[in-house]
Amino acid sequence: MIEVEDVVYDYPTKRALRGVRFKAERGQVLALVGPNGAGKTTLLRCLAALDRPFSGAVRIDGIDTQDDPRRVHEKVGYLPDFYGLYDELTVEQNLLYAANARRVTGAKAREAMKRTVERIGLADRVKSRASELSRGLRQRLAIGQTIVHEPAALLLDEPAAGLDPEARRSLSALITSLAKGGMAIIVSSHILAELEDYSTAMLVMRDGALIGDGPVSAGGAVRVRITLARTDQRFPASIAAQAGVKVENADASGGLITLDGGAEGNATLLRALVLDNFHVATFAEERVSLEAAYMAAQSSGVMASGVQAGGRA
Amino acid sequence: MNPEFKRNLWLEISPTRLMLMAVVLGVIFAITWFAAGDADRPAALAGIAEGLFGVIVGLWGSFKAGRSVADEIRERTWDFQRLSALSPMAMTLGKLFGATSYVWFGGLICLGVAMFGHAAGQDWATAAEMAGKLVLLGVFAHAVALAVSLAVVRRGRGRDRVDAFVFTIAGIVAFQSGSELSGGGMVGTVRRMSADGDAMQATQWWGVSLPWETWGYISLGVLVVWAFLTAWRLMRVELQAPANPLWYPLFLLAPALLLGGLADNTLGRLISVYAIVHGLVLATLLVEPKDFVAWRALGARLRTGAKGAGRYWPSAFSGLIVAFLAACALAVVAFVAPGVQEKPVSWLVGFAAFAFLLRETAIFAFFHLGANQRRGDFAALLTIALLCFAGPAVLGIANLDAANGLFIVQPEAGLTSHLLSIASGLVQAAMFAVMAQARWRGREKALATA
């Protein structure tokens, strides 16, 4: 869906992106994190085909942003960190214009507007001018403008800035539902705890480059901690022999492993252990908080393999 | 309906505002009607209506058209518009006529009253002709203001009031110059008078005799299309639509051929064409963004043959090609028929001017590769001014006026001076180019280590 290949972007006195490469599929929510000046906003602008990289390629739904930026614009929704609204227009007019400007016209535009105000919780404010809305509601309207045309890829730069906790929760629910609807979503934010609610993987940037090999997908390896009710000396050798298992540490009382195959893989391994007469007391996925993973990546320079980027598996 | 036009209508038009405009204008016309004597009333109404049209459509409309893009940037909505699927044509039309819709409402009231005033003294056909010309002038002024604002926006500016003043002035100048050119203003009237004070019925354009009214409409029509296409082309750049390489040469040649054709003979016309092309290329050098990153991207694509070089190609480079071709045409005609002019012109005069155009290009490149790019244009202009004015002044003090060709073109100075200008211009261009190259290497090294 979103393909980024060795993208380099230069400012007159600084290289802002250094060979960035990753992919994001439909339904994925990538958390884009990194310190100020890491290149997150520049990357998002390149993905939105607003800025042209010096070299490399960005493809959205198979369309190269440099070959046909106008078609890319139709497929992308982008909310910049500093956005503007037409203050003198009503919520309805803002959304209708956004739909019309993305080739959604007539009755379809009105349907899109109604669907969007329901999604963003502004159904009771459609006749209010944008200037009459609170900061949180303005933020919702801005997000509404970016999704009213049902883009294939959604790029959000600090979407939760200025939102109260309740609004953040509804934003999380909205992003989750949009991802389930098939959008590929990239969210840049400094609020890691909030990203944990909905992101399926994480991209960590530093000095214009991605740390590690790109995002860790939700369907990939997970860490599982196993503890035994009775110690068993056979356990280290037995667990190491299981298919799809990578042992991080193991002894007679249990161990920490990385396991491929998702829920089905978990069930298969657990059944094998029980049939092998191991007295399994706990068999639990171990979640690493996004913040912990981020800090580890920042300090080591390389993202730990197998780190699940958030709470959703 | 064009979504951008509709959005502007939502913002501009409301019953209260329409009523306000109608009432204010109505009061002014009523005062004029009662203040004028019985016999003068239609003429007084026509005069005040035309004046108000100039203020509302010419002045206010230019401000509104120019601000239509600048306001988007100030309100941080421009990126949203750039991300829309609207075509550059729809965006240009929507802004040109949408942002000025309220202004046109007032302007059309004024036009109606002016037509009534003129028709009372003349006939409706003449009044309609006057109204048509005023409408064209208004569109021309707005298109120029929009084009200037888009050019300014490309340079990363356009937010402050000084810029708004520039857009408005550009529109007013366009309004007035269009009026003059089409024979409606003071200069136009003077041009229409023969030496003995009689009104001339026709003008010569590229050797073709045209009635003044016809010329007025043709010239105004060409200018309106030219200004609109310029705004549209700049909008295409902003919206990242592919650039057609023929538009910029057309931008140079349309006014050059239109105005150059008014000269008395072929050589004079080609000198005018070259001069206008030269001036427009210089203006492009000044206005166009001079971006090291874009130049570097262009160089990389040209070296590797990668696609997309056209997006980074500076218009001024195309302008140099057009200017060179114009200089060639001028050389051929001057070589074949040098005696047509009162004073013979060397066939090298175009090349002499072109050599200095290369020098100015190298000067702009040199100063924009420096540490302080923001002052690049000022430093380049200052250097060019020093070379063009201080150089000849120093030579004058030393009684070496004959060597002025080292710094400036002297059209009537003859072959030797023009040869001197060509050699001097090329040497100066090479010097600045070498210095620019050194700065380029420094910038590349700094970027690699940044």
Q: Model confidence at B199, in pLDDT bands (50, 70, 90)?
A: low
Average pLDDT taken over every residue of chain B = 84
pLDDT value at B54 more than 70: yes
Contacts with A10 from chain B: Cβ below 8 Å? 293, 296, 447
Q: Residue B160 pLDDT more than 90?
A: no
**pLDDT value at position A304?**
39
Given CA atoms B225, B231, B236, B242 in this order, what sign does their dihedral have?
positive
Q: Which residues contact B297 (CB under 8 A, 6 or more apart)?
A: A52, A54, B312
Residues of chain A neighbouring B73 (CB-CB closer than 8 A): none
B window 295-334, beta carbon within 8 A of A: 296-297, 300, 307-308, 311
Whether B85 sits inside 8 A of A84 (CB atoms) is no
> Which residues of chain B lie closer than 8 angstroms to A101, CB-CB?
3-4, 81, 84-86
The bridge status of strand A55-60 relative to strand A2-11 is antiparallel
* Residue where the block lists tokens 């890691």: A192
pLDDT at B89: 93
Distance CA B429, CA B347 (A): 22
A275 has a pLDDT exceeding 80: yes
CB contact under 8 A, A54 and B75: no
Rounded to 10 degrees, the C-alpha dihedral A94/A100/A104/A106 comes to 100
- Return the pLDDT at B344: 61
Inform me whether the pLDDT recorded for B94 exceeds 90.
yes
Other beta carbons within 10 angstroms of residue B340's beta carbon come to 15
Expressed in angstroms, the distance from the first to the final Cα of chain A is: 21
Contact in structure between A256 and A248 (CB atoms under 8 Å): yes
Residue A213 exposed, middle or buried by CB count within 10 Å (0-12, 13-18, 19+): exposed
Q: Which residue of A has its CA nearest to B87?
A: A70
Whole-angstrom Cα distance, residue A68 to residue B240?
9
pLDDT in tens, B231-286: 999 999 888 887 777 888 989 999 899 888 888 777 888 888 999 999 999 999 98
Cα angle, residue B6 at apex, residues B14 and B20 outer, rounded to 5° = 20
Q: How many CB atoms lie within 10 A of CB A290?
A: 25
* Sign of the C-alpha dihedral computed for residues A157, A162, A163 and A168 taken in this order: positive
What confidence tens digit (pLDDT) does each residue in B418-437 have?
Answer: 888 899 999 999 999 999 99
For residue B56, which amino acid is it? I
Nearest-Cα residue of chain B relative to residue A49: B83
CA distance B174 to B265: 27
Lowest mean pLDDT among A119-123, A159-163, A175-179, B441-445: A159-163
In 3D, which of A194, A187, A86 has the Cα closest to residue A142? Answer: A86
**Residue length of chain B:** 450
State both tokens at A8: 């380099």
Q: Which of A15, A50, A54 sits opposite B83 (nearest CB)?
A: A50
CA of B240: which chain A residue's CA is closest?
A: A69
A28/A151 Cα distance (integer angstroms) = 14
Which residues of chain A neighbour B297 with C-beta distances below 8 Å?
52, 54
Residue of A29, A18, A45 lying closest to A175 (CA atoms): A29
Q: Where are the domains of chain B?
A: 1-192+202-241, 266-450
On chain B, the residues whose CB falls within 8 A of the CB of A145 are 80
Look up the pTM and report it.
0.80
Other C-beta atoms closer than 10 Å to the C-beta of B384 total 18
Residues of chain A contacting residue B290, judged by C-beta atoms under 8 Å apart: none
**pLDDT at res. B345:** 67
Distance of CA A304 to the CA centre of its chain: 18
Cα distance between residue A161 and residue A141, in whole Å? 14
Tell me how far apart the 2 most distant CA atoms of chain A are, in Å. Answer: 74
Q: Helix or strand or coil: residue B411?
A: coil
Give the pLDDT score at A213: 54
User: What one-letter code names the amino acid at B93?
Assistant: L
pLDDT for position A229: 92
Amino acid identity for residue A276 in this structure: D
> For a pLDDT cut of 70, what percent of chain B falls above it?
90
- How far is it, in rounded angstroms, from Cα A43 to Cα A214? 14
Q: Reduce the DSSP state of residue B323 to 3 states and report it.
A: helix
Which is it for strands A153-157 and A184-188: parallel, antiparallel or unpaired?
parallel
Residues of chain A positioned with their CB less than 8 A from the CB of B3: 97, 100-101
Could you please report the per-residue DSSP string of B164-190?
Answer: HHHHHHHHHHHHHHHHHHTT-SHHHHH
> What percentage of chain A reaches a pLDDT higher than 70?
87
Res B191: pLDDT: 53
CA distance A78 to A47: 9
- With beta carbons less than 8 A apart as the criterion, state whether B252 and B277 touch: yes
Task: Check CB contact of A84 with chain B, cutoff 8 Å.
Answer: yes
Which two tokens mark A47? Answer: 């993905």
3 state SS of B96? helix
Report the relative pairing of strands A254-259 and A280-285 from DSSP bridges: unpaired
Residue A307 tokens, joined: 């780190």
The answer to whether the CB atoms of B447 and A100 lie below 8 A apart is no
Of A14, A52, A145, the CB nearest to B80: A145
- What percent helix, strand, coil does chain B show, rounded to 5? 80, 0, 20
pLDDT band at B22 (very low <50, low <70, confident <90, very high): very high
When pLDDT is averaged across residues B15-20 and rounded to a whole number, the result is 93
Whether residues B292 and A73 touch (CB distance < 8 A) is answered with: no
CB B160, CB B47: distance < 8 Å: no
Q: Least CB-CB distance to B79: which of A80, A86, A102?
A: A80
Pair B147, B231: CB distance under 8 Å: yes
Q: What is the pLDDT of residues A143-169, one digit of tens each?
A: 999 999 889 899 999 888 777 788 788
Buried b (16+ CB within 10 A) or exposed e, B57-83: bbbbbbbbbbbbbbbbbeeebbbbbbb
Which residues does B209 contact at the CB level (< 8 Å), separation at least 6? B202, B203
Mean pLDDT, rounded, for A201-209: 84
What number of other Cβ atoms are within 10 A of residue A267's Cβ? 12
Q: For residue A152, which of A218, A213, A244, A72 has the smallest C-alpha distance? A: A72
Q: Judging by DSSP bridges, how do beta strands A222-228 and A254-259 pair with one another? A: antiparallel
The minimum CA-CA distance between A194 and chain B, rounded to whole Å, is 26
Residues 6+ apart with CB under 8 A from A159: A79, A139, A143, A171, A175, A187, A189
Contact across the interface for B311 and A74, Cβ inside 8 Å: no
- Per the CB < 8 Å rule, is B84 touching A85? no
The answer to whether the beta carbons of residues A228 and A37 sit under 8 Å apart is: no
Contact list, A83 vs chain B (CB under 8 Å): 76-77, 80
3-state secondary structure string across B10-75: HHHCCHHHHHHHHHHHHHHHHHHHHHCCCCCHHHHHHHHHHHHHHHHHHHHHHHHHHHHHHHHHHC
Q: Tell me the DSSP string of chain A.
A: -EEEEEEEEEETTEEEEEEEEEEE-TT-EEEEE--TTSSHHHHHHHHTTSS--SEEEEEETTEETTT-HHHHHHHEEEE-SS----TTSBHHHHHHHHHHHTT--HHHHHHHHHHHHHHTT-GGGTTSBGGGS-HHHHHHHHHHHHHTT--SEEEEESTTTT--HHHHHHHHHHHHHHHHTT-EEEEE-S-HHHHHHH-SEEEEEETTEESSSSPPPTTS-EEEEEEESS--TTHHHHHHHSTTEEEEEEETTEEEEEE-SHHHHHHHHHHHHHHTT--EEEEEEPPPPHHHHHHHHHHHSSPPTT---SS--
The tokens for B349 are 């005069």
Distance, in Å, from the CA atom of A104 to the CA atom of A244, rounded to the nearest integer, reads 48
Residue B278 confidence (pLDDT): 94
Give the nearest chain A residue to B442 (CA atoms): A13
* Nearest residue to A214 via CA among A226, A223, A224, A205: A205
| B256, amino acid identity | A
Q: Is A106 in CB contact (< 8 Å) with chain B?
A: no
Question: Is the pLDDT reported for residue A311 higher than 60?
Answer: no
